[in-house]
Amino acid sequence: MARTQDHEREQDRITDEDGVAIDSALVGENLELSYPTSEEPIVDCARLDIPEEAVTALVGPNGSGKSTLLKALSNHLEPETGTVRIHGDDLDSFSQKALARELGVLSQENNSLGSISVEDLVYHGRYPHRGFFDSVSETDREAVERALELAGIEHLRNAELGQLSGGQKQLAWIAMVLAQDTDVLLLDEPTTFLDVHHQFRVLETIRQLNEEKGVTVAVILHDISQAARFADYLIAMRDGELYDWGPPEEIVTEQLLADVFGVEATVRYDPELQVLPKRALPDR
């Protein structure tokens, strides 16, 4: 069933059904993931690829293991078995700070930093690029300004994080991750709490970073039709397993909606409904 089973694979490279090779920024292999309290593995995945310089959306019902998988990809959860590589190197071979220069992560469990302004939070995103005794550089300042601007929250820079709305807080955390200025972004439900304007703005920013800087993005999205319109690739999870992956127009079928989400729905692709910019896929 799963397309992944059909693909021939080389090291950190996947080959689509037409034999076109796609490089992977992140690769998970033989992953069994669980928490100390879980009796059985929460996620069991033979192989997972996040294609380089593309936007991949992880979709699936509540509890299907999307966040757990993202935690393993970002080294926030030690796999029971298996490995994760980023650009060919084992995640274990990185110090926390070195990994933070490669990988920006928006998790659902944002650490409380106590009483802190939005601007100070966004400056935290620069820590992987700074030595312990370094003062703030011009590059840091520019990265923070750009991140505040991309998230559309320059006007909130002096606001206290704890006094913001859920959506404003989310934008502040997103700005912090953007200030990290990494080639790979892992984003766990970045559009949660956001009104439709800000949802679009965040998704457009992701697309812009992907198009202009070649940033690789893996993002958990709950709205399957938004994900299908937005992402280059989808990974559909069901019961802790990878059900299917591929370009949305190939994998989002009535069968998938029934099998993965348990809904009977009609799938219709209408280019006129294309509300978000989507990069042209490479020739396949």
Ligand X SMILES: Nc1ncnc2c1ncn2[C@@H]1O[C@H](COP(=O)(O)OP(=O)(O)OP(=O)(O)O)[C@@H](O)[C@H]1O
Give yes or no for residue 180 binding ligand X (CB under 6 A). Answer: no
The single residue among 41, 51, 60, 104 that binds ligand X, judged by CB under 6 A, is 60
Give yes or no for residue 238 binding ligand X (CB under 6 A). Answer: no
**Rounded CA separation 274/284 (Å):** 21
Q: How far is the CB of 237 from ligand X (least distance, A)?
A: 6
Give yes or no for residue 62 binding ligand X (CB under 6 A). Answer: yes
Q: How far is the CB of 274 from ligand X (least distance, A)?
A: 26
Q: Nearer Cβ to ligand X, position 126 or 169?
A: 169
Q: Which residues does 8 contact at the CB level (< 8 Å), separation at least 6?
A: 15
- According to CB under 6 A, which residues from 256 to 275 bind ligand X? none
Binding residue count for ligand X, defined by CB under 6 A: 12
Q: Classify 94 as helix, strand or coil.
A: coil
Task: Name the CA dihedral angle for 93, 96, 101, 102, rounded to a multiple of 10 degrees.
Answer: 50
Residue with tokens 């920013």: 205
Tell me which stretch binds ligand X (CB under 6 A): 44-52, 64-72, 193-201, 223-231: 64-72
The single residue among 67, 168, 205, 216 that binds ligand X, judged by CB under 6 A, is 67
Q: How far is the CB of 4 from ligand X (least distance, A)?
A: 18
Give yes or no for residue 64 binding ligand X (CB under 6 A). Answer: yes
Query: Residue 13 is encoded by which pair of tokens?
Result: 């490279």
- According to CB under 6 A, which residues from 114 to 133 bind ligand X? none
Q: How far is the CB of 252 from ligand X (least distance, A)?
A: 17
The single residue among 28, 41, 65, 190 that binds ligand X, judged by CB under 6 A, is 65
- According to CB under 6 A, which residues from 7 to 46 bind ligand X? 35, 37-38, 42
**Rounded CA separation 83/55 (Å):** 22
Q: How far is the CB of 160 from ligand X (least distance, A)?
A: 28
Beta-bridge partner residues of 50 = 26
Q: Give the number of residues written for the chain.
A: 284
E strands present in 34-141: 43-51, 55-59, 81-86, 89-90, 103-106
Q: Classify 259 as helix, strand or coil.
A: helix
Q: Nearer Cβ to ligand X, position 174 or 237?
A: 237
Q: How far is the CB of 156 from ligand X (least distance, A)?
A: 26
Query: Residue 88 is encoded by which pair of tokens?
Result: 């060919």
Give yes or no for residue 190 binding ligand X (CB under 6 A). Answer: no
Nearest to 60 by CA among 200, 251, 202, 222: 222
Give yes or no for residue 95 binding ligand X (CB under 6 A). Answer: no
Neighbour count for residue 150 (Cβ, 10 Å): 21
Nearest to 85 by CA among 15, 11, 177: 11
Name the site residues for ligand X (rule: CB under 6 A): 35, 37-38, 42, 60, 62-68
